[in-house]
Structure 1
Amino acid sequence: MASDLCEAFAGFLILHHKEQIQSMVLYQDPMLHYSLQIDFAELTEHDPSLSHLLYSQPNDLLPVFDNAARYAQNCANASIKEFVHVRINVSGSPLESPESFPSIGRVRVKHRGILLTLKGTVIRTGSIKMIEGEREYECRKCKHKFKVYPELETGNSIHLPSSCPSQRSRACEGTSFQYVEGTIVCHDYQEIKIQESTQVLSVGSIPRSMPVILKDDLVDIVKAGDSVIVTGVLTAKWSSDLKDVRCDLDPTLIANYVRRTNELKSEIDIPEDVVKKFESFWSEYKDNPLKGRNAILQALCPQVFGLFTVKLAVALTLIGGVQHVDASGTKVRGESHLLLVGDPGTGKSQFLKFAAKLCNRSVITTGLGSTSAGLTVTAVKDGGEWMLEAGALVLADGGICCIDEFDSMREHDRATIHEAMEQQTISIAKAGLVTTLSTRTIVFGATNPKGQYDPNQSLSVNTTLSGPLLSRFDIVLVLLDTKNPEWDAIVSSHILSEQGEPEKGKGSENSINMWPLPMLRTYIHFVRRYFKPNLTKEAERIISSYYQLQRRSATDNAARTTVRMLESLIRLAQAHARLMFRKEVTRMDAIAAILCIESSMTTSAIVDSVGNALHSNFMEHPDQEYAKQEKLILEKLRPFDDFLDTNSI
């Protein structure tokens, strides 16, 4: 039976994966472990009964499949590789169903022993060890040799059979065995822990986690913070036998195939028809581009009325600038950070939650619910060994970390994110573990001012946030509830119309065809990936002149007017160019970046250029309004650069 199955699997490999086998046998090192990846859907199409057997009895058939991969190498005239492992990719196959693709919290006894696939985020990675895979024994009576495999359930211990397992016609029934020297086979071994993604959990659910065992070529291919899809066989492991502690089994997944989905998401090609839709959208708004920009911004958090300045700041933060390496080889971050400081009821948390929906990877936390270890990384002891467990900033690597109630964090905990925000790394020295983890994440914070906001005081005094921390935020928007009667009337009518008649509740603001959330997410991903805008000479002069102006007039905002502000201006100008679907930073992008920075200053260097960010609404003719703002800004910057021409607009 086993030989027939081996021939059937080998026939499938020769038919569908001949090129992979031929390229594998050309490698020189016969001691390496090699992977042979196959699609389960392809096997199902080739032989449905064979695929069903593999799905229902993977413990028996996966070793047979590996033997078939060794047997299939005979077709090539080269050294046969003994250590070949067939890796089963089930994505896109009939197995991708809730039954065989459950969430970690729904894994039950019925899933034991079948081919199971789990999605999650790696929160812990153990050290790479060496474990015994098999050893050979010989019966002293009949000299029959047989292999003994360690049992994972009892902690990889070896259990000899009660009698000789010889299959000869006359039963041996010998009970004395001796170990054959030099027959121990060892494997690379690593334990990781994966946790359910918080995006798929309902409110109030605690994310479940499960240990995963990686062997041979699978070790060290994932790190803490990676989103993964793991295919393997569910087994059980006896928990440690302590006195007066209930003896139970811990579910453990022995991995056969591991795929990093965070890399996969960045490599997804945008369909041509979607790209053409974006191009036709901008060709339609060729004469008034800012109206097109506002049409995109209106899709940001549509349940909140107005707040044009905040929506523009959120869009620029999510898109971000271009990361580059300076002359010394140091990386200068491209991700922007945003802080919303405002009175209660100004919609800060709404923007946080919407921003998390627009990113592939996002972590939402609150100040009170976050410790320094929970934000960065914590050292945990597992089975006598110290391991690092990833915190919020590491889990959000490549995405966004939203921190609500930023002011309620302890001072010590806030200080831990300084390095994560600027250098985009976290240096760890805990329990003898000294390492550096990557945190290429956008930090989006929201906080209430300390008591009543006093415009005469600096931002540090009003928010109780230190100057070094404030300087790391590209934009700090202050939303003050000044109780404007006209604004209150507009907002109340907007909310009431949405409650009363949803069809008619679109309002004048939403009269343009609003982009749906998936399209907005695709657009942000597309411009981040394909647009690397360069600064034009004119944009450079405008940014430089504004920086000089801010440095001269910086009295109350000394914490904000540092060199970091200059880098923020460049990032915001690049983000605006990406938002406008351009591959170079023009005068308009530099002016837009200045307007964003002006909005975040409590005392504006360019008087009357911006108003209250809370009461900023979408204008009917944004291009004409921009022309006035541009003329005003260039007039103010003229003393710092004589080449700036205020007439050519």
Structure 2
Amino acid sequence: MGGGGPEKTLLDFLTEYYSDQLQSIILSSDNRLHYPIYVDFAEVMEHDSPLAHEILFEPTEYLPVFDNAAKLAQETVYEKVKEIWKHESCNEGVDRPPPSIKEFVHVRIEIRGPMLDNPEFCPSIGRVRVKHRGILLTLKGTVIRSGAVKMIEGEREYECRKCKYRFKVHPELESRNSIPKPMFCPSKKQKYCESTSFQLLEGNKVCHDYQEIKIQESTQVLGVGAIPRSIPVILQDDLVDVVKAGDDVIVTGVLTAKWSPDLKDVRCDLEPVLVANYVRRINEIKLDIEIPDEVILQFKNFWSEFKEAPLSGRNAILRAICPQVYGLFTVKLAVALTLIGGVQHVDASGTKVRGESHLLLVGDPGTGKSQFLKFAAKLSKRSVITTGLGSTSAGLTVTAVKDGGEWMLEAGALVLADGGLCCIDEFDSMREHDRATIHEAMEQQTISVAKAGLVTTLSTRTIVFGATNPKGQYDPDQSLSVNTTLSGPLISRFDIVLVLLDTKNPDWDKVVSDHILDQVETENDKFHEDISKKWPLSLLRRYIHFVKGYFRPTLTKEAENVISRYYQLQRRSATENAARTTVRMLESLIRLAQAHARLMFRNEVTRLDAITAILCIESSMTTSAIVDSFGNALHSNFTDDPDQEYATQEEQILAKLNSPDYIISI
């Protein structure tokens, strides 16, 4: 390929569209760094469609041409930049380093929009086949393993001892980036040299940063029973250390193959590997649910309808949570508040106080715990479901694995769920050692690792939603620790612990069986159906994400007083269950009150929110300081007039808190 056509077209394209990036590269001070130029593929397509097509199908040939064009484009812009530099240096009187043309510039091609839905160029990792080899491919996935940054030799220069011809040899990816010794002289003079004797020239060595990561397809897009596939990705130069384990990424690169490591008793095969050209973290915009303006207007109209009876509006939303399970109002409220969460803040010492809430359901078999876990996972933008039996401490946190003679960290469930939800069923079946590993992950939202010489801290800003069965028959006279075999420190990390006891209640059994068999067709049921049609899963998902991002509620003086008095009352009355009534409970109350304010579409925490948070804590049956119990959470149902019921509960709670000055007529 000549240096004329495509290179000239790409040169013109870069100077026309990307002169700003070129100018900032020329003005940068370090000549030895590798600089990226981010190019939108849609703009290349618009500028020259046939050339864009060639880049897509022949990237190994055209990407070096594009890089070379970027180097030449610097020369085109250089004079203009020099004038700007002189002008600014004179005016500001600052001695800046002079502009220079950089040797190492790489064009990073970014693919966006509709092309990401094309399975030909953007397949799922499990669908990568031989036909994709050699084309520019874009893959989405989660980084499950990140290797150490190494240094590899970029090229070697040899001189033929016979004809003195000098030539360069580049590393071969197939043979794990080693540079092979040339077999014969490549000189193409009048007569072929055919020499096999060469001298290695020790000149300026070109080296590259090199890192291998492994990405796995997201479990959200897989069907039940499908095993998530993974693929190694090679990052070089400016791309190294851009992502870490647990990040969601979009990688564009060229699919090739390399020999698998030479292990004893293991067949040496060619395994697919993606040589990355562009990497983008999508944690910040992670699967961001598009919320159009008309949907936001729909939310506002909904709340204006229920202005006079706000709790009826709240219950309409709660009914849409796990609609196949009848009743269980308390659990549905707890799930909503946990998913929405409070506001993260930094205290006076600079320590971050988490905004995420944690929920534990303790219940007899068949009380619908797993149903809630699965529904909550659907509502969350990022979720990982696991079971206590199916997770070792490494499977939950992080594990060190040896790959090709090198130790790497592989992310577990809590790290992969960073920024989302981690559902752990059969919580009690984890080994004691495994439970201890999640203490730090739940409170400090980090996991500290010291394995195989790898010492690091990983982020786990995760909501933990656990479900467990009691140990044998639940004994209300005993503490929760005794009934579940979970330690006090672990239980104290859960904001809400709901106990679902399957007591014999003939009336409740009749209602539930009628609901399941769908024998009763009353007007009330039709009303319920209308509500669930108003709030389908997709809309409920959008609502939760909208209120989480839009509202940052602050506590009113009234709410602060109620929460403070309740906490003091709990501390006085907590004799046998001291593990639950710690400062963590106070933080939990604040988080739950903030979450309820968000659920109610408000930016301030009122007394209503504070008392609802107290009701949630009281419903756990483990910390009742106000009344013996608000009833079994399993048998809690939606009332016809929630506002009237709340007025009664509020009066009862305020009377117990011994605050007559706060009992105001509703």
Structure-1 residue corresponding to 2:416 = 395
Give the equivalent residue in structure 2 for 1:361: 382
Partner Cα separation in structure 1 for residue 105 and residue 117 of structure 2: 26
Alignment-mate amino acid for residue 163 of structure 1: F
Change (3 A) 1:380 1:260: same
The question of whether the paired residues in 2 share the 8 Å contact of 1:41 and 1:93 is answered with no
Alpha-carbon distance, 1:522 to partner: 1.7
1:81 to 2:102 alignment: yes
1:411-437, Cα deviation, whole Å (9 max, x unpaired)? 121111111111111111211222221
**1:612 equivalent in alignment to 2:613:** no
**Is residue 287 of structure 1 aligned with residue 288 of structure 2?**
no
Aligned to 1:27: 28
Shift of 1:514: 2.9
Residue of structure 2 in register with 1:573 after alignment: 593
Contact 1:547-1:566 at 8 Å conserved across structures: yes
Task: Tell me the equivalent position of 1:632.
Answer: 652
Instruction: State the match for 1:235 in structure 2.
Output: 256
- Contact 1:497/1:505 (8 A) holds in 2: no
The structural deviation recorded for 1:394 is 1.0
Change (3 A) 1:148 1:506: farther
Find the residue that maps to 1:183 and give its secondary structure. Answer: strand
Cα-to-partner distance string for 1:328-354 (whole Å, 9 max, x where unaligned): 111111110000011111110011011
Q: Map of 1:377-396 to 2, 5 A cutoff?
A: 377-396=398-417
Residue 642 of structure 2, aligned match among 587, 612, 622:
622
Residues 215, 350 of structure 1: CA spacing in aligned structure 2 closer, same or farther, 3 A cutoff? same
Please tell me the residue identity of whatever aligns with 1:528.
K
The alpha-carbon distance between structure 1 residues 266 and 589, as it changes in their structure 2 partners (threshold 3 A), is farther
Q: Which moved more, 1:221-230 or 1:137-146?
A: 137-146
Match of 1:302 among 301, 312, 323: 323
Tell me the SS of whatever aligns to 1:364: strand
Structure 1 portions without partners, runs of 5+: none
What pairs up with 1:172-251 in 2 under 5 angstroms? 172-242=193-263, 244-251=265-272
In the alignment, what sits opposite 2:11?
10
Q: Which AA in structure 1 matches 2:484?
A: T
- The amino acid across from 1:81 in the alignment is K
Q: Give the aligned CA root-mean-square deviation in angstroms.
A: 2.1
* Amino acid of the structure 2 residue aligned with 1:106: R
**1:128/1:399 CA distance change after superposition, 3 Å:** same
C-alpha deviations, 1:45-84, integer Å up to 9, x for none? Answer: 3222212211111111111111111112222124222211
Q: Does the aligned pair in 1 maintain the 2:397–2:437 contact within 8 Å?
A: yes
Task: Check 1:176–1:432 CA distance in 2 against 1; reply closer, same or farther (3 A cut).
Answer: same
Tell me, yes or no, if the aligned pair for 2:115 and 2:122 is still in contact at 8 Å: no
Q: Cα–Cα, structure 1 residues 244 and 267, in superposed 2: closer, same or farther, change >3 Å? A: closer
**What is the Cα deviation at residue 608 of structure 1?**
6.1
* Paired residue type of 1:329: G
TM-score (normalizing by structure 1): 0.95
Which of 108, 120, 123 aligns to 2:141? It is 120
Using structure 2 for the length normalisation, give the TM-score.
0.93
Q: Counterparts of 2:625 and 2:191 in 1: how far apart (Å)?
A: 99
- What residue number does 1:50 align with? 51
Mapped to 2, the partners of 1:242 and 1:562 lie a distance apart of 54
8 Å Cα contact 1:90-1:96 kept in structure 2: no
Amino acid at match of 1:497: D
Query: Does the alignment pair 1:446 with 2:467?
Result: yes
In structure 2, C-alpha distance between the alignment counterparts of 1:95 and 1:631, rounded to whole Å = 57
The answer to whether the 8 Å contact 2:553/2:604 transfers is: yes
Matched, 1:600 2:625: no
On the 8 A contact 2:288/2:381 being kept in 1, the answer is: no
CA distance in 2, matches of 1:64, 1:283: 60
Q: Cα distance, 1:510 vs. partner?
A: 3.2
Counterpart residue type for residue 625 of structure 1: E
Note if contact 1:136-1:183 (Cα within 8 Å) is conserved in structure 2: no
3-state DSSP of counterpart to 1:182: strand
Contact 2:139 2:251 in 1 (8 A): yes
AA of the residue aligned to 1:613: A
Cα deviation, residue 30, structure 1: 2.1
> Which residue is 1:278 aligned to?
299
Q: Are residue 422 (structure 1) and residue 443 (structure 2) matched?
A: yes
Partners of 1:402 and 1:504 in 2: CA distance = 36
Is 1:436 matched with 2:454?
no
Residue type of the alignment partner of 1:38: V
Which residue matches 2:663?
Answer: 646
Structure 2: 5+ residue stretches without partners:
80-98
Distance across 2 between alignment mates of 1:460 and 1:134:
64
Q: Equivalent residue of 1:264, what SS?
A: coil
- Which deviations, in whole Å up to 9, do the C-alpha atoms of 1:560-615 show, x marking residues without a partner? 11111111101100111111111111100000100000001336222266221111
| Distance in structure 2 (CA, Å) of the matches to 1:624 and 1:610 | 16
1:541 to 561, 570, 574: 561
Letter in 2 for 1:63: P
Residue type at the aligned position of 1:154: S
Aligned-pair distance for 1:170?
4.5
CA distance in 2, matches of 1:325, 1:432: 32
**2:463, 2:19 → 1: CA distance?**
45
Deviation at 1:506, TM superposition (A): 5.7
Question: Which whole-Å CA distance do the structure 2 matches of 1:596 and 1:374 have between them?
Answer: 31
Aligned counterparts of 1:612 and 1:268: Cα–Cα separation in 2: 36
TM-superposition CA deviations, 1:13-43 (whole Å, max 9, x none) = 2233233223332222222211111222222
Q: Which digits, 9 at most, give the CA deviation of each residue in 1:451-472, with x for residues without a partner? A: 1111122111111111111111
- Secondary structure of the residue aligned to 1:256 is strand
Match of 2:111 in 1: 90
Counterpart CA distance in 2 for 1:269 and 1:410 is: 41
- Matched residue pairs, number? 644
Name the counterpart of 1:163: 184
Q: Distance in 1 between matches of 2:378 and 2:454?
A: 34
- Does the CA-based 8 Å contact 2:570-2:623 persist in structure 1? no
Structure 1 CA distance, aligned partners of 2:114 and 2:22?
23
Percent identical residues: 75
1:554 pairs with 2:571: no
Say if 1:406 and 1:446, in contact at 8 Å, map to a contact too: yes
Post-superposition offset of 1:628: 1.1
Cα deviations by residue, 1:378-427 (Å, 9 ceiling, x for unpaired): 11112222111111111111111100011111112111111111111111
CA distance in 2, matches of 1:313, 1:95: 37
Q: How far, CA to CA, are the matches of 2:663 and 2:201 in structure 1?
A: 90
Question: Higher mean Cα deviation, 299-308 or 311-320?
Answer: 299-308
Q: Tell me the equivalent position of 2:168.
A: 147
1:337 aligns with 2:358: yes
Are residues 509 and 480 of structure 1, via their aligned partners in 2, closer, same or farther at CA, if it must alter by over 3 Å?
Answer: farther
2:195 and 2:459 mapped to 1: Cα distance? Answer: 58
